[in-house]
Amino acid sequence: MIYDVMIIGAGVVGGAVARELSRYDLSVLALEKESDVCCGISKSNTGIIHTPCLVKGPSKKAEYNLKGNLMMDRLCSELGVVLQRPGALVLAYSEEERETLQAYKEQGIRSRKTYGAPDEEYRIIERDELLSLEPNISSAVICALLTPDAGRIIPYELGTALWENAIANGADLLLKSPVQAIVRPEDDGSPWTVRAGEKTYRARFVINAAGHGSEEIGRQAGFTPSVIEKVKGQYLIYRRERDFDVNHILFQVPSKGQGKAGKGILVCKTVYGNLMIGPDARWVGDSDDRGTDKESLEEVLEGARKSIPDISSKGVIKTFAGIRPKPVDGDFIIEASDRFIHLSGIESPGLTSSPALAEEVLALLRKEGLDLVPKHSFREKREPIVREILDLDKEELKRRIELPDHEEEQIVCRCEQVPRKRILDAISRGIRVDSLDGVKRRTRAGQGQCQGNFCGGRVRKLLARELGVPEEEITQRGGQPLGDRISRL
Ligand SMILES: Cc1cc2nc3c(=O)[nH]c(=O)nc-3n(C[C@H](O)[C@H](O)[C@H](O)COP(=O)(O)OP(=O)(O)OC[C@H]3O[C@@H](n4cnc5c(N)ncnc54)[C@H](O)[C@@H]3O)c2cc1C
């Protein structure tokens, strides 16, 4: 079969493109090397929907970040993904940094004008007002820029939802299918040929959304390679209960030279109320180098304490790292030639930008000659995975944990109070989920205080039963090697 469009890479960018394509009367195939969607950059990042104030323009990043930010509320509502907009505060510690805040504010206003977005109220607030918003802020902070347009999501929840919806609308996704070779077509309009594992696939149009794998794939397709550095960032996640609160997403004006590496160490809560701090920035040689280390975690802690001095290592339940694909030229790489769209260097704010990037990819496909005929059967809505947040008292929790296995109300994960029915719902949505991590990302089973010690075996048993395979076949990461090393402070 010759597909109309093939997508290489099932991260959030590939997912946004797949969903857009599934609006049209096209055959779409996606190839992903991992055993699940969103196992690459889209799994391990901060999950912030960025304000245009912090994205330097004019640039592709500034344009797609702003457009993506504006599209995000509708997209998340259609897909049943939780998006919160607590707003961000960029903290300044000196009069010189106050001037940087002014520059950020002007950047946000300028970007909105340039890309035709409605105005937003960006304000530099003084310490008194700041204290009323964030009572636990460091005494060294003199003022802050308040940007109401910053938000947060769980990045892999958006990615998974995009893929589920694309599949429900007819797209095909093949997991565990690493693309190894690409054969350019002749000039006669014949299809591209792509080899993944033992198999060969053909498509008239190809989109390279392979994250860290993009450069190699682009090179094979005939694109001039770019220099993409790998910058690792580490994070600490805390249990929900703590003695102090954080209401906004807290950034700091980066110290000199630090701005090049990223947006600096931030402090915020996740959508589920866990405190999260990070990331630092270290250049590494390998995109699989996702372990955490004590030195970086200490640096993150020290950086976070500059914003909220009460933060310590008490209450940490998890550490993780993500790797940014940082193009030395600074901007996203988006190129099109011979019915092939090449995306590379999609670092931060790639998550925020993803819906706008998808629109751009479709525009490029159209220019390359793809007919986009709307499909009347397209369904934009995806029901959220059963999400009721339970707050059971000890006795009821114990009773529900002990319910027999066929009872959907049985609690599988004690810490996050995840009922069996949520897991059953999550694994029956068109993507084969065959790992503990796959269940964890979709349902939160294993995301609590004990990090899966209690529920790991129970989830394994449930998955094995539902998939009809022996329990030994259910692994933490779906047969992938255990690459991440986790250090605790
Ligand atoms: C530390 C960090 C913090 C960040 N914070 C933010 C933030 O707060 N806000 C924001 O907007 N953005 C943020 N980003 C950026 C954002 O996470 C990325 O831009 C986005 O997730 C990129 O998605 P992607 O789909 O391009 O890549 P990926 O998610 O990596 O997807 C690419 C997929 O391609 C697959 N693949 C690779 N090679 C092959 C192959 N040969 N064959 C088949 N499949 C292949 C991979 O397995 C992967 O699943 C952050 C990034 C990092 C690293």
Of the listed 50, 212, 248, 342, which one is catalytic?
50
Q: Is the C-beta atom of 327 inside 6 A of ligand 1? A: no
* Tokens 């269940």 sit on residue: 439
Question: What is the whole-number distance in angstroms between the Cα of residue 407 and the centre of ligand 1?
Answer: 38
Q: What six digits make up the tokens of 408?
A: 């959907």
Q: Is the C-beta atom of 41 inside 6 A of ligand 1? A: yes
Identify the band that residue 455 occupies on the pLDDT scale cut at 50, 70 and 90: very high
* Residue 421 belongs to some domain of the structure: yes
Buried b (16+ CB within 10 A) or exposed e, 471-480: eeebbbbbeb
Q: Is the C-beta atom of 151 inside 6 A of ligand 1? A: no
Q: Fill in the DSSP letter of residue 383.
A: P
* Residue 354 belongs to some domain of the structure: no
* Residue 240 belongs to some domain of the structure: no
Rounded CA-CA distance 357/350 in Å is: 8
**CA dihedral for 452, 313, 85, 54, sign (positive or negative):** negative
Q: What six digits make up the tokens of 288?
A: 């699989």
Residue 137, helix vs strand vs coil? coil
Q: What is the pLDDT at residue 260?
A: 62
* Residue 379 belongs to some domain of the structure: no
* Residue 413 belongs to some domain of the structure: yes
Q: H helices of 87-225, where?
A: 95-114, 127-133, 155-168, 214-220
Buried b (16+ CB within 10 A) or exposed e, 215-239: bebbebbebeebebbbbbbbbbbbb
**Residue owning the nearest CA to atom 27 of ligand 1:** 211
DSSP per residue, 23-74: TBS--EEEE-SSSSSS-STTTSS--EE--GGGS-SSSHHHHHHHHHHHHHHH
Question: Does pLDDT of 487 surpass 60?
Answer: no
CB atoms within 10 A of CB 424: 15
Residue 351, helix vs strand vs coil? helix
C-alpha pair distances (Å), 47 with each of 233, 254, 277, 278: 13, 19, 12, 12
User: pLDDT tens digit string along 295-342?
Assistant: 999 999 999 999 999 999 999 999 999 999 999 999 999 999 999 999
Give the mean model confidence (pLDDT) for residues 399-407: 94
Task: Tally the domains of the chain.
Answer: 1
* Residue 457 belongs to some domain of the structure: yes
Identify the band that residue 255 occupies on the pLDDT scale cut at 50, 70 and 90: confident
Residue 471, helix vs strand vs coil? helix
C-alpha pair distances (Å), 70 with each of 67, 110, 226, 353: 5, 16, 30, 10
Q: Is the C-beta atom of 211 inside 6 A of ligand 1? A: yes
Q: What six digits make up the tokens of 205?
A: 């149009």
Identify the band that residue 414 occupies on the pLDDT scale cut at 50, 70 and 90: very high
Q: H helices of 205-333, where?
A: 214-220, 294-307
Identify the band that residue 486 occupies on the pLDDT scale cut at 50, 70 and 90: very low
Residues 446, 439 contacting (CB under 8 angstroms): yes
Buried b (16+ CB within 10 A) or exposed e, 9-30: bbbbbbbbbbbbbbbbebbbbb
Rounded CA-CA distance 356/66 in Å is: 9
Rounded CA-CA distance 456/458 in Å is: 6
Rounded CA-CA distance 121/112 in Å is: 11
* Residue 416 belongs to some domain of the structure: yes
Known catalytic residue: 248? no
Instruction: Fill in the amino acid letter for 85.
Output: R
* Residue 417 belongs to some domain of the structure: yes
Question: What is the whole-number distance in angstroms between the Cα of residue 248 and the centre of ligand 1?
Answer: 25
* Tokens 């280390």 sit on residue: 293
Residues 311, 317 contacting (CB under 8 angstroms): no
**Residue owning the nearest CA to atom 17 of ligand 1:** 42
**Residue owning the nearest CA to atom 2 of ligand 1:** 45
Q: List the domain range (segments joined by +) for residue 429.
A: 394-473
Longest dimension (CA), the chain: 71
Q: What is the pLDDT at residue 315?
A: 95
Q: What is the pLDDT at residue 259?
A: 58
Q: What is the pLDDT at residue 261?
A: 64
User: pLDDT tens digit string along 63-89?
Assistant: 999 999 999 999 999 999 999 999 999
CATH number, position 465: 1.10.10
29, 34, 41, best to mutate for ligand 1 pocket (most atoms within 8 Å of CB): 41
Q: Is the C-beta atom of 179 inside 6 A of ligand 1? A: yes
Q: What is the pLDDT at residue 387?
A: 72
User: pLDDT tens digit string along 213-250?
Assistant: 999 999 999 999 999 999 999 999 999 988 889 999 99
